[in-house]
Each structure stands twice: as C-alpha cells, then as structure tokens.
Structure 1
Amino acid sequence: MALTDEAIAKIRSMIQRGELPPGSRLPPEPQLAAQMGLSRSGVREAVKALQLARVLVVRRGDGTYVTSLAPHLLLEGVGLAVELLQDDTLLEVMEVRRMLEPVATGTAALRMSDEDLDVLSRILDDMRDAADDHEKLIRFDTAFHRTVIAATGNETLTSLMDGLSSRTVRARVWRGLIESNSAHHTIDEHHAIYLALRARDQLLAQATALIHVNTSESWLRAVLAERPAAAQRGQGRVSR
C-alpha cells in the first residue's frame, strides 16, 4: 500500500472510531505523522485527497478540520462521476433512478407538507408557461423532482438523486429536441404525480412516478438503439 493510501486509511479509521468526530481539529501535521508512524509528506498528500473528497477542510491560519460529513458533501462526487459515464451506461443510471424515484415519491406522499405541495403547484404553472422553451422546462422539471425527493426528509437519498439527475438532465434535453410533443407529455406526467401527492396516495404516487421514469427510459433505449443503425446508413451513403 502506498504511503498516501495508508495515511488516508488511518485518518478514515480515526474518524470511524470517533477519535476525530465531525467538526474536530486534526493534530498538527508533525504530530499526526508521528502518531501514525508515517512521513509528513504522506500525511500531507492524504489530507489533500480527503479535502477533495469533502472529508476534511483546511482553514488557513487555523488548521485542518473534519467536515460535518453530511451526505450532500460526501456524495457530491457522485454527480461528477456520473457525468463521465458514456451514453450506453446512461441506461444503467436510468435503471437506478427507476428503482429509487418511484419509492421515494410514494414516501413523499406521506410526508410532504402543504407548503411543499404549493411549491410543486407553482412549478407546474412555470412548466406550462415554458412548454415551448425546452431549456426552461428542463430546469423546472429538475426542480419539481428535487422538491419531491427532498420532502422525504432523507438527505442521503436527496443527495444521491441530485447526483444521478445531473446526467439524466441531458436525457431530458435530447427528448425535448427529438420528440416534438415531449413537453406536453412531460407536463401531463408531472401533473399526474402532483395529483397523487396532493391526494396523499402513496401507491398512486409511486405508480405515476414509475410511469414517468419508464417513459424516459423507453425513449432513451430507442434513441441509443437507433444510433448504430443511423451510423451504418451514413457509412453506406459515403461508400456509394
């Protein structure tokens, strides 16, 4: 194991054991290196790596601290990683969304406040007004789903879905560009979800959310399946 990896593992272990709880200050670098039996350079690189992972934060002139370790910090990298996935693996992201989002929407039906429902109602109005502007529609679409997921009160789930949505937003853009009537379909599906949430009907909310995700996933499968065929047709025309 490289010295940096060993230092990372030891610092993580100290956090897991409660020796370095959230918000606590790490010992000075020389002391920490001696405590772990490692070189200062290895500890320094480990701190940099854990800082990028939002586990540690360096405050100039003050020291290095353990962050709050809140889900929105630790799962921040999910969105960055998902953005690097190739188009064929985007289907896997959609499958994960299909597994999580309907159940989360059903849970939200039981936990959503009247204020949250009012927010969704306003977002739906914005979506209707933006039906001819796909970029705005996508932004409101994303806000709608985030409001629903956040209503579950599960910060880990909210952070995870935020990361997954960073990539699925592109699928919504493609859908809007390719399907001429996609905006109206999207609004209708969101309206059905809203009505189920307003009725506090857990099963109906779950079902309407599943229909919405399935629609997006089915469209994406069709588009990705069409690309190789289109490429082959293009090559055939060139060869002639």
Structure 2
Amino acid sequence: MAVTDEAILKIKNMILDGRLRPGDRLPPEKELSESLGLSRSSLREAVKALEIIRVLDVRRGDGTYVTSLEPQLLLEAMSFVVDLHEDSSVLELFAVRRILEPAAAALATGRATTSDVSRLREMLATIDGNTSVDGLVAHDLEFHQGIAELSGNGYLTSLLASLSGGMMRARVWRGLTEANAIERTLAEHRAILDALESGDAELVRARVTVHIAGVEDWLRRAASSTA
C-alpha cells in the first residue's frame, strides 16, 4: 500500500470509529502525524486527497475540519469516480488523447529546435521528489502543452488543451495516491524528450503513446479498486 493511501485509510478509520465526527477539527499536524505513526509529508498529502473528495475542509489560518459528510456532498465530489466506473467520461478523454497527442508529438519532432528541447529540459529540471502535487500537475500540463505547440498545428494544439480540463481531477488524484508518481512522470518525460532530441518521430510517437496508456491503465485499476 502506498504511504499516502495508508494515511488516507488511517484518517478515514478515525472518522468511521467516531474519534473524528462531522464538524470536528483535526488535531495539529505534528500531534496527528505522531499519533498515527505517519510522516508529516504523507499526512499533508492525505489531507489534500480527502479535501478533494470533500471529506475534509482545510480553512487557511484556522485549521482542518471534518465536513458535514452529507451523502449529496460526497457524491458530487466523487462524480469523476462514477465517470470511471461507467467508462463514459475520463477514460474516453484519455483514449482520445492517446490518439491525438502522439500524432502532435511526431509533428513536433520535425520542427523542434535545439533551443526548444533545452527549454523543455529546463522545465523538467524544476521538478524533483520534493515537488508538491500541485507543482507536478502544473508541470505535466505545461510539458505536454509545450510539445503540442511545437507541432505547428494550432487547431490540434487547442483541441488537446481543451481536453486537459476534463482530466485535471484525475491528474491530481493520481499524483496524490500513486506511489512514485513524480519519479515515474519525470522518467517518462525525459524519455520523450530524448526521443524528440534524436529526431526520431516514430520513437517519439511510441513513447508518448506508452506514457498516456500508462495513465489509462492506472485509471482503470483505480476504478476497479474503488468500485
């Protein structure tokens, strides 16, 4: 079990067994992390994940509270999981992305200059194992958009950008809950850049396809595990 998943489970158990009730304020971070046997970083990521699905309410400068836990509130926040179960929304968006983005990256290969590749490498260098989930998601969006723009096809670039909005919650959730999400993302982005720099359009196409297919696979497994 990933460390963040373990942290989420422990906080959830506190709510289920009554140690935390709707409206209760969570103990201070240091105290809670020690009592649960968790690092403060994993506890923070767990709190972010539970905030996304409206189990916790983080009030800046005040503290973190358990929400009302009303069914309608939770169902609304988990709508993207329902989409996964029905294979009608997020997975379909990723399938379209898997068709279009490798084509855009292949087009970019013939147009990318040394300066373009250097700029993308500098972007990669700003991300490491200490990067927050928000930082990782922002990097992921910027990296893929940067390659799409190099395709020289404005319509294709805009179409891929429009797809990104529907994938945002899935990207955030993956970053919060999948073990080694940052390291895996960076390794795959570096492999794509190496292929781009080599000028091999078919290799670029293949690596982008594998990269996106890996996310699709994670989404299917996430849907199955939460069904």
* TM-score bracket for this pair, using the shorter chain length: 0.5 to 0.7
Q: Give the match for residue 92 of structure 1.
A: 92
Spell out the pairing of 1:74-113 with structure 2 (5 A cutoff). Answer: 86-87=83-84, 88=87, 89-113=89-113
With the length of structure 1 as denominator, give the TM-score of the two structures. Answer: 0.57
Amino acid at match of 1:215: G
Inter-partner Cα distance in structure 2 for 1:209 and 1:219: 16
Return the offset for 1:131: 4.5
Give the aligned partner of residue 179 of structure 1.
178
Structure 1: distance between partners of 2:154 and 2:124: 24
- Aligned-pair distance for 1:168? 1.8
Unpaired segments ≥5 residues, structure 2: 1-79
Give the superposition deviation at 1:114: 2.2
1:104-183 equivalent positions in 2, closer than 5 A: 104-128=104-128, 131-183=130-182
Q: Which residue of 2 aligns with 1:208?
A: 207
Unaligned stretches of 5+ residues in structure 1: 1-82, 229-240
Shift of the alpha carbon at 1:115? 2.3
Count of matched residue pairs: 144
Greater gyration radius: 1
1:188 matched to which residue of 2?
187
Q: Deviations over 1:98-124 (max 9, x none)?
A: 111112111111111222212101111
**Once the two structures are superposed, what CA deviation does each residue of 1:68-113 show, in whole Å capped at 9, x if it has no partner?**
xxxxxxxxxxxxxxx9x94441100000001111121111111112
Tell me how far 1:170 sits from its aligned partner: 2.1
CA distance in 1, matches of 2:130, 2:97: 24
Partner residue in 2 for 1:198: 197
Distance in 1 (alpha carbons) for counterparts of 2:218 and 2:124: 22
Contact 1:110 1:202 in 2 (8 A): yes
Q: Which runs of 4+ in 1 moved over 2 A?
A: 85-88
Q: How far 1:200 sits from its partner (Å)?
A: 0.9
What is the alpha-carbon distance in structure 1 between the residues aligned to residue 226 and residue 91 of structure 2? 14
RMSD value, Cα: 1.7
Q: Would the aligned equivalents of 2:136 and 2:175 in 1 still touch at CA under 8 Å?
A: no
CA distance in 2, matches of 1:127, 1:168: 21
The percent of aligned pairs where both chains have the same amino acid is: 36
| Structure 1 residues 157 and 199: alpha-carbon distance in aligned structure 2, compared to 1, 3 A threshold | same
Letter in 1 for 2:190: H
CA deviation after TM superposition for structure 1 residue 194, in Å: 0.5
Match in the other structure for 2:39: none
- The alignment partner of 2:179 has SS state of coil
Distance verdict in 2 for CA 1:131–1:100, change over 3 Å: farther
2:110 aligned counterpart, secondary structure = helix
Q: Which structure carries more relative contact order (alpha carbon 8 Å, separation 6+)?
A: 2
